Amino acid sequence: MSYSFDIIGIAPVLQFFNHQQQVETKRDRAQAYLGSYCCTLDAFIDATEAVHHRPDWDWDAIVSTIVTFWLRQENDVLHWKQQLAAAQGTPNLGGQNLIVARVVNYDSLRHEFETLFDD
């Protein structure tokens, strides 16, 4: 299996958890979202343990993918650290903010696309 990891944005905590309740009920989904209060490698690795209804994926390979992203995308990481710091200084209706990342399982995503055409 191959995986992808990307930081996708900043979201209020309540909005993130509401989204999690809606999309994370299926164990065979192609994506999982990780949320963290800080933009650090350790925080995202820890966030993999908090995925509700964890899909049956190779989570060691996912952690390796996260580490590879962190080492190769230094400018992106710095950008998102700055965005999170700026968002934490801005009050919003949702309260505190999280930085959100997405893990994609390419095999599951391919299967989802293929089933779209089976009907």
What is the average pLDDT value for the chain, to the nearest integer? 86
pLDDT at residue 88 greater than cutoff 90: no
For the packed helices 74-88 and 59-72, what is the interaxial angle rounded to 10 degrees?
Answer: 90
pTM of the complete model beyond 0.75: yes
- What is the Cα–Cα distance from 81 to 6, expressed in whole angstroms? 14
Q: What is the mean pLDDT of residues 80-87?
A: 92
Note the pLDDT of residue 103.
Answer: 94
Q: What is the mean pLDDT of residues 13-28?
A: 78
**Residues in CB range of 58: below 8 A, 6 or more apart:** 1, 3
- What is the Cα–Cα distance from 66 to 34, expressed in whole angstroms? 11
Band the pLDDT of 58: cuts 50, 70, 90: very high
Cβ proximity of 100 and 33 under 8 Å: yes
- What is the Cα–Cα distance from 39 to 14, expressed in whole angstroms? 18
**pLDDT over 90 for what percent of the chain?**
53
- What is the Cα–Cα distance from 1 to 107, expressed in whole angstroms? 6
Query: Which is nearest to 33 in space by CA: 45, 43, 23, 46?
Result: 23
Q: Which long-range contacts (CB under 8 A, 24 or more apart) does 85-93 make?
A: 87/10, 92/12, 93/12
pLDDT at residue 93 greater than cutoff 50: no
Weakest-pLDDT range from 34-38, 77-81, 92-96, 107-111: 92-96
pLDDT at residue 11 greater than cutoff 60: yes
Note the pLDDT of residue 119.
Answer: 57
pLDDT at residue 30 greater than cutoff 50: yes
